[in-house]
Structure 1
């Protein structure tokens, strides 16, 4: 039997069997091929469109690139360079303040502000030293850092900065490019940071910190500077223009984290440091005077003590001190000028030297004029008395000065007019600024004769009824010691030039106030005053010309309950080198000769030893004090 394909046998009729299942519609092969063709064409069209768009974008981009490269390349490169090129300030150092011998009293020391970039710290990944043998790598005690980002920077940097690791890491978190981590870092620490391999994340900015090596030496006089390094008090303020330098600059390209790109420096201007200012003050003398004042305050239980030491021949101030001085650079020093500058007082009997000078110069009196002087007198209804009770004394004009008689000065002034009294006080500098330029200086108080009442016109003869300060009073007596010529006082010896060499000392303005012969006679009388106190205020081997003073001043209750005791001495009297003024408030012992006088002697002895001055010749020309 023949088997047909498909494995079906023939039926009875010999034809294949029909299936009993229902018939199914047959697909149209032509219709199927048409649908698939439409889909293919649509996809092709979309592909072509996308390709055309991409081609167009590419063409535009290439065209723009070609345009930039061919026509704008230089301008674009220049713009990119400009965006990376920034100026950086090079800080100038503030000048130094020196004493007369070159000892540094104030200087700016090199310090750095350590700055971090939180933005750069976020991307920081330390380099493992075990995997890199060349270049910078990072390790802590020889071990991997074990962190990334701000935590890693903090772990590496904290030990060198001496900061808490957690606090430092917190400062480095954020998106800023600048945060101050620590100020006033020494150069040694800065150099150690440079070796940590944190460039671009950590940088250092140069700053100048003002340093006062001898903070308690004339602290209030030196004053201080503010946070920007500008003088705000004392010498720092007075000489700020000279001390302040001019910042320079450096222009270079920087990387994305602010680091300098090597070899890109385009322009620079070096800074010009401030000038050095040298004072007339001798630091050794200043130190000793401050010690003597402190000792005197403790010994006599005074409220405060102040002193001035001046060279009469040139007006140079060698020491300017008080017991209220603050540490240089401190807030107290910036807010409180020296007491010796601000405090005014009635000079008391020291003012008699000015009165005597005026009367001798005007010819109304001679040093040998004779008087019989009681201990009290009444003039124009006003009574005046001496400090101690005494019977009638036969004193010359020199004797009136030696015994500091208020009554004798009133008696001797019968031909000395009110206008003359005022003019000579003015000529000697009373009621006028010293011209030193110090902050807070009071010029005192001197009213014109038209404002004087019947009592004031006579009290001004013996140092009451007007107010002065220790600087003015010192120069008044220095005028007598300088043969009648008044010099402009000075605190500045020199200011260095641009090469750092000391410049010339400022020229001293000189004005003759009294004749040389008159000055010599007043000095003679002042030597007799010193002779009277030789048991408490002498300087062995040296002649001294001096005058004491005691005056009532207003106390805290506003009434005349306080006492000012003062002493001005010239040493050596036969060859004046120094004038020393000592002023005390409320000392136990009251009188200036018994309190301020011994402090003067202590200072005078030191001056003679320090400057090795030869002993004085014996005195042979004393004007008689009695008749």
Structure 2
């Protein structure tokens, strides 16, 4: 009986062994068949699939060009930075290697101590101190699903090199990027503008010159190993990136800095709402400084969202506009600069009342004297035979209502309506700078016509463009158009010198003759109420050999009159220019045109 039981057990055991053998044989057959299929039948396809999975077409970014000032000082440049990226899936499966137990190869520790956790928490503890981040914040970014997560942007190369030494290849790696940095702080901040996350200009000079600065991206096609590293010898195609060109401005940083400081101090001194100023080369019409008192740093969100006040602000020029009116009258033959007028402080013309800024008795003034004393009444009286069309034509010849040619983003062209739209009062207020609006460059460039001997040229702010190979293309000054004859211009310059002398105590610069004109205009709030004042001063120096044209504009300064508010700032800027550029002093003034009779 016992032998029968043992025999049965033996048979069952043998059956089981046979069954297991059969299963193993089947599995072996399947595995062998699959191996044969992969290696012999589909080996090429499988290898190609594996290669394709590792092969990437990686863009090679072009380096954005620099923005330089006229002296070659760097105002904006792109520097090498990295975006630190993680593979969350691999991070979550990470098991650290104890450096004590590991005698050969890679290991992981923090502060010389082994890690007591694993997964995303361990990776976070390792990299957080290097990145200057909180480990919990990093851990949260590593705990998301997927294979790609940005941990930190704009990381310096030195930090990226430290990460490379942490033995986390395949989990943490860096993608090359750029960061745009600016050296001048709030100096021409909004004028320089800024770039977006993709490195393209969105405002200011960065936007205006984006095509030249950007260049063209290239690419590389290769097989990629752990951590995004290129496998040597696997490069199959490539196209070199073409870096962007460098753009040199006509702006002189030293002058611009001083103008900025002068405006900030001037706003505090006269309690003005804002102030703007421009300095222009009288010979080339290139802009040397273009500033406001706003505190906007280049590259900041404010710089990307705002246009420089010196570019976008428009205003009525006030009595500076009389320079154009007098020029037109003399050039068209309506008057000579020596023509005589008896000018009251107020008068009524066709039901319209006109008055001068300050009371004075009936005065015997020449046309030069009318300009010197900034008489609204005298200007209207002198324009009796100066037609509406002539008034409009000379305004446009001096660039009023016309694009400046700078093509700066957000730049306003001001407003100037045609004579058909003028009413009985506007046709005369036009004569003394009211009834139309200008931007800062338009007004300065109009006065620049007189400084340049009667020739109008569009202003420039780009000096040259240099490609990556070092070939420079100069932006030549535009050809000029004669607006008034040289003889007429000489008389107008003389009259402006007399007008400047009216404020000699606050605008005069020892050793130098200057020519200028003040302006004060009331600003309409849009509902017909006059709610603010704009005061300006525009002039050039030296008057006998013009080198620079300067315009300063202030909003609601205490003192109101342009000659005693904006004028002193013109004085400060002009004196700085004479010293910086070592301009020879002026010769004596002779044969000045009489201003009274």
TM-score class, shorter-chain normalisation, is over 0.9
Deviation at 1:535, TM superposition (A): 1.2
| Pair 257,187 (structure 1): closer, same or farther in 2 beyond 3 Å | closer
Once structures 1 and 2 are overlaid, which stretch shifts more, 333-342 or 522-531? Answer: 333-342
2:109 is paired with a residue whose SS is coil
Deviation at 1:157, TM superposition (A): 1.7
| Pair 92,369 (structure 1): closer, same or farther in 2 beyond 3 Å | same
> Could you tell me which residue of structure 1 aligns to residue 596 of structure 2?
626
Equivalences for 1:397-408 in 2 at 5 Å?
Answer: 397-408=367-378
Note if 1:519 corresponds to 2:489.
yes
2:114 is paired with a residue whose SS is coil
TM-score scaled by structure 2? 0.92
Q: 1:299 aligns with which of 269, 272, 281?
A: 269
Q: Could you list the per-position Cα deviations for residues 303-347 of structure 1 after superposition, in whole angstroms to 9, with x for gaps in the alignment?
A: 211111111211211111112342222222222212222222211
Equivalences for 1:94-493 in 2 at 5 Å?
Answer: 94-255=64-225, 258-493=228-463
Deviation at 1:439, TM superposition (A): 2.2
User: CA–CA distance in 1 between the matches of 2:518 and 2:82?
Assistant: 54
User: CA–CA distance in 1 between the matches of 2:453 and 2:419?
Assistant: 28
| Pair 390,151 (structure 1): closer, same or farther in 2 beyond 3 Å | closer
Q: Could you list the per-position Cα deviations for residues 168-209 of structure 1 after superposition, in whole angstroms to 9, with x for gaps in the alignment?
A: 234323542111222221111111111111111111112212
User: CA–CA distance in 1 between the matches of 2:317 and 2:40?
Assistant: 89
User: CA–CA distance in 1 between the matches of 2:418 and 2:140?
Assistant: 69
Once structures 1 and 2 are overlaid, which stretch shifts more, 546-555 or 38-47? Answer: 38-47
Deviation at 1:381, TM superposition (A): 2.3
Between Structure 1 and Structure 2, how many residues are aligned?
A: 595
Once structures 1 and 2 are overlaid, which stretch shifts more, 261-270 or 400-409? Answer: 261-270
2:57 is paired with a residue whose SS is strand
| Pair 393,318 (structure 1): closer, same or farther in 2 beyond 3 Å | same
Question: What value does the CA root-mean-square deviation take over the aligned residues?
Answer: 2.8
2:438 is paired with a residue whose SS is coil
Note if 1:554 corresponds to 2:524.
yes
Note if 1:80 corresponds to 2:57.
no
TM-score scaled by structure 1? 0.88
Q: Could you list the per-position Cα deviations for residues 246-277 of structure 1 after superposition, in whole angstroms to 9, with x for gaps in the alignment?
A: 22322222346655434433333333222222
| Pair 142,42 (structure 1): closer, same or farther in 2 beyond 3 Å | closer
Indicate conservation of the 8 Å contact 2:83/2:150, yes or no: yes
Once structures 1 and 2 are overlaid, which stretch shifts more, 573-582 or 97-106? Answer: 97-106
Q: Which runs of 5+ in 2 are unaligned?
A: 1-5
Q: Could you list the per-position Cα deviations for residues 276-309 of structure 1 after superposition, in whole angstroms to 9, with x for gaps in the alignment?
A: 2211111111111111111211111112111111
User: CA–CA distance in 1 between the matches of 2:384 and 2:432?
Assistant: 14
Indicate conservation of the 8 Å contact 1:375/1:389, yes or no: yes
Deviation at 1:90, TM superposition (A): 2.5
Deviation at 1:161, TM superposition (A): 1.6
Indicate conservation of the 8 Å contact 1:220/1:325, yes or no: no
Note if 1:595 corresponds to 2:547.
no
Once structures 1 and 2 are overlaid, which stretch shifts more, 211-220 or 44-53? Answer: 44-53
Equivalences for 1:501-512 in 2 at 5 Å?
Answer: 501-512=471-482
> Could you tell me which residue of structure 2 aligns to residue 6 of structure 1?
none
User: CA–CA distance in 2 between the matches of 1:414 and 1:229?
Assistant: 58
Q: Could you list the per-position Cα deviations for residues 530-551 of structure 1 after superposition, in whole angstroms to 9, with x for gaps in the alignment?
A: 1221111101111101111112
> Could you tell me which residue of structure 1 aligns to residue 3 of structure 2?
none
User: CA–CA distance in 2 between the matches of 1:373 and 1:175?
Assistant: 85
| Pair 335,45 (structure 1): closer, same or farther in 2 beyond 3 Å | closer
Deviation at 1:584, TM superposition (A): 1.4
User: CA–CA distance in 1 between the matches of 2:117 and 2:20?
Assistant: 47
Q: Could you list the per-position Cα deviations for residues 460-493 of structure 1 after superposition, in whole angstroms to 9, with x for gaps in the alignment?
A: 1111121112111000010111111111111111
User: CA–CA distance in 2 between the matches of 1:258 and 1:588?
Assistant: 64
| Pair 345,151 (structure 1): closer, same or farther in 2 beyond 3 Å | closer
> Could you tell me which residue of structure 2 aligns to residue 31 of structure 1?
none
1:434 is paired with a residue whose SS is coil
Q: Could you list the per-position Cα deviations for residues 60-119 of structure 1 after superposition, in whole angstroms to 9, with x for gaps in the alignment?
A: 765665565455433332222111111222332222222111222222222211111122
> Could you tell me which residue of structure 2 aligns to residue 581 of structure 1?
551
User: CA–CA distance in 2 between the matches of 1:434 and 1:70?
Assistant: 75
Once structures 1 and 2 are overlaid, which stretch shifts more, 140-149 or 66-75? Answer: 66-75
User: CA–CA distance in 2 between the matches of 1:516 and 1:562?
Assistant: 38
User: CA–CA distance in 2 between the matches of 1:234 and 1:257?
Assistant: 38
| Pair 202,42 (structure 1): closer, same or farther in 2 beyond 3 Å | closer
User: CA–CA distance in 2 between the matches of 1:360 and 1:444?
Assistant: 26
User: CA–CA distance in 2 between the matches of 1:491 and 1:624?
Assistant: 39
Once structures 1 and 2 are overlaid, which stretch shifts more, 204-213 or 495-504? Answer: 495-504
> Could you tell me which residue of structure 1 aligns to residue 466 of structure 2?
496
Indicate conservation of the 8 Å contact 1:344/1:468, yes or no: yes
| Pair 143,588 (structure 1): closer, same or farther in 2 beyond 3 Å | closer
User: CA–CA distance in 1 between the matches of 2:133 and 2:440?
Assistant: 50
User: CA–CA distance in 1 between the matches of 2:531 and 2:463?
Assistant: 41
User: CA–CA distance in 2 between the matches of 1:383 and 1:414?
Assistant: 15
> Could you tell me which residue of structure 1 aligns to residue 534 of structure 2?
564
| Pair 358,261 (structure 1): closer, same or farther in 2 beyond 3 Å | same
1:401 is paired with a residue whose SS is helix
Deviation at 1:121, TM superposition (A): 1.9
1:503 is paired with a residue whose SS is strand
| Pair 133,599 (structure 1): closer, same or farther in 2 beyond 3 Å | same
| Pair 168,331 (structure 1): closer, same or farther in 2 beyond 3 Å | closer
User: CA–CA distance in 1 between the matches of 2:377 and 2:397?
Assistant: 24
